[in-house]
Structure 1
Amino acid sequence: MFMSLDAWIAVGVVLTVFPLMAFSRLGPDIILLGAVILLMTLGVIDPQQALGGFSNSGLFTVAFMYVLVAGIRETGGIDLIIRYVLGRPNSERGALARLLLPVALLSGFVNNTPVVATYIPAVMSWSRRLRLSPQRLLMPLSFASILGGTITLFGTSTNLVVHGLLLERYPALGMGLLDLAWVGIPVALAGLGYLLLLGPRLPPARKGVASAFANPREFTIEMEVDPTGVLVDRTVEEAGLRHLQELFLVEIERAGNVVSVVGPGEQLKGGDRLVFTGTSDAAVELQQIRGLIPSRDDTSSLEKEFKERRLVEAVVSNQCQFIGQRIRDGHFRTLYGAAVLAICRGGERVKGNLGQVRLQPADVLLLEARPPFIERHRQSRDFLLISELNGAARPIHEKAPLAWGLLFGAVLLAALGVLSMLNAAMLGAALALLTGCCSVGAAKRGLDTQVLLTIAASFGVGAALQSSGAAEVMGSGALTFVAGNPLLLLIGTYGVVALLTELVTNNAAAVIIFPIVMSAAESLG
């Protein structure tokens, strides 16, 4: 069969796209959008075909799943897994077992990309507590999420996107949520077994690059036991405050008295002020512990809407109006709309509780503030330097069970066929916003726009191969190569797609190859 000029142009664009994505610094979304614009300009595809990916049900299902996972992240839902599932294993293999099995199971029902993104900070924190190198846990985490994603249609964005393409072409061939499980479960179990048996032996035991540049500064950090929280009447040991890596509980201030020697059996009371010493990274970790809140010296509007807060590091200038004043007496929180969580002076901790510390020039403050604080005070004479830390402020812990309930409710509705996957994900995302599990800002930040744009643009490139006839010609060539054997065609498809995913994103590879494989399958009948 002979290919038309449009077909040659489509093939040429595809052959150019792959090396560009593999070797250039441009993102895959930019390259694929550029390819779609070129194909539309040359008349290979029309505007409807170019924009067809933006109306695909699979794309929107992926987007709504991102919002659902953002709700779990904002409510500290992963902390429940760390507390009740991960725990404190006795060996590295035990740690891998506690990590990989729940990750694989969760990835079967939640898009694996946000699962990994949500788990990474939790695993970093967990590895510090276990004194394990995070590198030996992070790579198995990634592989476990991929293996779990093969179990259901919800598992990966690629599953959802290819299923959306299948529905567009053959609406009657729609698949159920668990139709992939009979293949996915054995594959996942085999892969997890390999990781558990050989995983501890393969990664080299070395310190990360980041450790060479670790922040040696020691902060004084003050937190308060929430009177209505889960830590009231628990001992220090039971609350998990005894074995915190890079953190040490120095003293407890209770009703005007100071407990200076804090033993593991010391019982916590509501309103206790806990004074820790540790690094800024450890201070970020402390914010994630359920039942602890920043010390409250006075009331301000900061008490409301804490889900939008960020952790900020600020260096006090010699022109700051609070120089020489106590943090508590100066009403720092009321004036700046920011709560002082920790203070560091000359790289060392400051003795005493934070409220009694008199500020000096060059003091480094760890603040909990709303996003506008950074822009408002970046040029302020009160601070020499302001930077946002890589870590969110306190999650809304009390809504964590609701966030998990919304996720599993959406999965259950889709699995039972009550709603389509798109409708179930859409309903779950809407309820996450309406119930306050996830703010609009957090939902926007949770959307991986690069992945979504890459998927949408891939549809335009795939449409060019289909409409120009290039897919049919290439499908016929593939059939000739495998001598019309369906098994060889399946093996060849796996091989080609696996090779392409080494060069480009898996979504782009699947969408571009889809029309070629479908043409070959149709020819086989």
Structure 2
Amino acid sequence: MPLDAWISLVVVIGVFPLMAFSRLGPDIVLLGAVILLLTLGVIDAEQALGGFSSSGLFTVAFMYVLVTSIRETGGIDLIIRHVLGRPRGEGKVLARLLLPVASLSGFLNNTPVVATYIPAVLSWSRRVGVPAHRLLMPLSFASILGGTITLFGTSTNLVVHGLLIDRDPSLAMGLFDIAWVGIPVAVVGLAYLILVGPRLLPARRGAEAVFENPREFTIEMEVDASGPLVDRTVEEAGLRHLQELFLVEIERDGNVVSVVGPGERLKGGDRLVFAGTSEGAVELQQVRGLVPTRQGESSLEKDFKERRLVEAVVSNQCQFVGQRIRDGHFRTLYGAAVLAVCRGGERVAGNLGQVRLQPADVLLLEARPPFIERHRQSRDFLLISQVNGAARPVHEKAWLAWSILGGVVLLATLGVMSMMNAAMLGAALALLTGCCSVGAAKRGLDAQVLLTIAASFGLGAALEASGAAVVLAGAVLDLADGNPWTLLVAVYVLVALLTALVTNNAAAVITFPIVMASADSLGVDPMPFVVAVMFAASASFLTPIGYQTNLMVHGPGGYHFSDFLRLGGPLNLLTGAVALTLIPLIWPF
């Protein structure tokens, strides 16, 4: 094997554990790998940057704008309001939830679909009498299943299809071609979630229940009107650097001062809200000029226009992961105060400032109103949902946004124009008609996903150009003993396992040249193997880290890691069996 092939192989092998176990984002890891290969001369600049000119990448980007337009106009909320209703019986509740989600995810990126559904499901679960933890994981899984129905369903489908037509335009697929396999896979998967799923999920306590009673994690005191603290700043009063507590807000004359700064001056009768441990009450009692507040409704249970209570799910890419809240200066960076942390369905006890954040932690934050829009697309948080006083989006243009998406689907399905051109036209119309502002479109673009896709192309090109893909294909064929059925199963299992550990786009793009080389060496049609890569890359039910929507529901549902294995393991086997049975029937070897 040539030296370049060895270098490519070593770099690619090193990329997967880095993506799986380091705090570096997959985009950073993959871009670093491409730069290394370019520096060593394994690939040239054109190959390194080839991903940035891929039709698949641009189609994904334009689809993000279309999805943003539907979200901005309240198109998803409108559907939620009309389809949930008040069904009786857990099976009917699951059916009413999962069928529309799977249908929507066939045409929309499933991340915003799940993000919009989670707050609605949390309140809906109380009305229908079904615990939220029995709905949230099926919600994520249904969105993944729905993504297998069309080429628009996931970014991975679009990217793999882009790779395919770049190699051979005659192999181009129609928008609904994979539905011959995707619909049976989705039907079987949804039936499993509705009929069997409720028996497999143990009882869990979600973040909403943990945060339900503010008096469990806050202490309220009043400033004595005749005491020594009147007209002194928070800093001067010694309330800035308490050991067990920190000052969150001040309620004053029917208004609230949120995210209190050190220079804020105290007034007589101010109601101070502290977050932290109950032991901190002793510390406050030693502060002259503070008296216990009069009993009544907790300040956090009141609705103030100057502040928002927000639940945020920590991303595995959050810069604070592994850091203590106090050391990371969370409050300074985000302009939000952490009131409580929920992990694994339990509130993290002890001094909040000493808590080290982990992925999927749910934070109860107190912030000013602009926080939600400013950080909704932040890579630090997977989900930001308002706890109190959530405003409903305006729905006047929802029909227009849906019409534009419908037009895109129609143009692509009828072959009037390519999927990229149809998506580009749709994105332009969404901006011109005001369904989506330019700012919202920019925020809606998931830069990390786009960079991951583009960089993955560079690694795939290195495997192909250096000859490593051919060598690996030969090894795979030896293991498969030259049998196309065995090779198909091996491809599916390999991509599914990689997807459980790293991003599905990277797993699909990097394995694509190996799969194509294997099919060429065997002298068979590559299409069944390409479709197997698409389905295996989407079949990510085993772990919370394998798919972003899984991580989004992990914290709010109070799930344990083993819960995904319990419900997702059989689903992986079931969908894999259906896909591997149907793929060779639709696309013969």
Same fold (TM over 0.5): yes
What is the Cα deviation at residue 316 of structure 1?
Answer: 8.5
Matched, 1:117 2:115: yes
The farther-off stretch of 445-454 and 4-13 is: 445-454
Write the mapping of 1:366-445 to structure 2, written as runs, cut at 5 A. 366-367=305-306, 386=368, 388-389=371-372, 390-391=385-386, 393-445=391-443
Contact 2:77 2:116 in 1 (8 A): no
Change (3 A) 1:132 1:34: same
Equivalent-residue separation in structure 2 for 1:198 and 1:118 (angstroms): 26
Q: Which amino acid aligns with 1:109?
A: F
2:477 alignment counterpart: 479
Q: Letter of the aligned partner of 2:188 in structure 1?
A: A
| Shift in CA distance, 407/315, structure 1 to aligned 2, threshold 3 Å | same
Q: Distance in 2 between matches of 1:143 and 1:448?
A: 21
**Per-residue deviation, 1:346:** 7.9
Residue of structure 1 aligned with 2:505, choices 501, 504, 507: 507
CA distance in 1, matches of 2:180, 2:294: 60
C-alpha distance 215-401 of structure 1, shift in aligned 2 (>3 A): farther
Secondary structure of 2:23's aligned partner: coil
- CA distance in 1 between partners of 2:169 and 2:417 (Å): 16
Whether contact under 8 Å (1:315, 1:365) holds in the other structure is no
Please list, as runs of the form range in 1=range in 2, the aligned pairs for 1:45-56 lying within 5 A after superposition. Answer: 45-56=43-54
2:501 match: secondary structure: coil
Cα distance in 1, alignment partners of residues 506 and 296 from structure 2: 50
Q: Is 1:314 paired with 2:258? A: yes
Which residue matches 1:522?
Answer: 520
Q: 1:152: which partner in 2? A: 150
Conservation of the 8 A alpha-carbon contact between 1:22 and 1:504? yes
Secondary structure of residue in 2 paired with 1:88: coil
- Is this contact kept in 1: 2:307–2:367, CA < 8 A? no
User: What is the CA distance between 1:481 and its match in structure 2?
Assistant: 2.0
State the AA in 2 paired with 1:205. Answer: A
Q: Per the alignment, do residues 348 and 83 of structure 1 end up closer, same or farther by CA in structure 2, a change over 3 Å counting?
A: farther
- Structure 1 residues 480, 315: CA separation in 2 closer, same or farther (over 3 Å shift)? closer
Alignment match, 2:304: 365
* Map 1:255-294 → 2, pairs under 5 A: none
Contact conserved, 2:109 with 2:154, CA < 8 A, in 1? yes
Q: Once the 2 structures are TM-superposed, how far is the Cα of residue 147 of structure 1 from its aligned partner?
A: 1.2
CA contact (8 A) 2:78 2:395 kept: no
Assess, with a 3 A threshold, how the Cα gap between structure 1 residues 364 and 405 changes in structure 2: closer, same or farther: closer
Q: Report if the CA contact (8 A) 1:216-1:347 is conserved.
A: no
Q: Does 1:202 align with 2:205?
A: no
Query: How far, CA to CA, are the matches of 2:484 and 2:34 in structure 1?
Result: 32
Q: CA deviation at 1:364?
A: 7.3
Gap change, CA 1:416 and 1:346, over 3 Å in 2 = farther
User: Match for 1:63 among 61, 64, 68?
Assistant: 61
Q: Distance in 1 between matches of 2:47 and 2:54?
A: 11
Give, in angstroms, the shift of residue 403 of structure 1: 1.4
Shift of 1:25: 1.4
Q: Secondary structure at the match of 1:365?
A: coil
Q: CA deviation at 1:394?
A: 4.2
Aligned 1:179-194 pairs, distance under 5 A = 179-194=177-192
Q: Name 2:459's counterpart in structure 1.
A: 461
Query: Where do 5+ consecutive residues of structure 2 fail to align?
Result: 216-255, 271-292, 309-330, 337-365, 373-384, 524-589
Checking the alignment, whether the CA contact within 8 Å between 2:491 and 2:515 is kept in structure 1 is: yes
By how many angstroms is 1:386 displaced? 4.0
CA distance, structure 1, for counterparts of residue 367 and residue 149 of structure 2: 48
Q: Structure 2 CA distance, aligned partners of 1:346 and 1:446? A: 46
CA contact (8 A) 1:315 1:364 kept: no
* 1:169 partner amino acid: R
C-alpha RMSD over aligned residues: 3.0
- In structure 1, what is the Cα distance between the partners aligned to 2:90 and 2:501? 33
The answer to whether the Cα contact below 8 Å between 1:313 and 1:365 also exists between their aligned partners in 2 is no
Work out the CA distance in 2 between the residues paired with 1:509 and 1:92.
36
1:437 and 1:36, CA in 2 relative to 1: closer, same or farther beyond 3 A? same
Contact 2:75 2:395 in 1 (8 A): yes
One-letter identity of the residue aligned with 1:366: K
**Following the alignment from structure 1 to structure 2, what is the Cα–Cα distance between the partners of residues 184 and 313?**
52
- Contact 1:96/1:196, CA 8 A, preserved across alignment: yes
Distance in structure 1 (CA, Å) of the matches to 2:295 and 2:499: 46
Q: Number of residues paired by the alignment?
A: 388
State how far apart, in whole Å, the 2-side matches of 1:125 and 1:63 are: 32
Shift of 1:212: 2.0
Q: Contact 2:121–2:135 at 8 Å: present in 1 too? A: yes
User: Any stretches of 5+ residues in structure 1 without a counterpart?
Assistant: 218-311, 325-344, 351-359
In structure 2, the partner of 1:134 is: 132
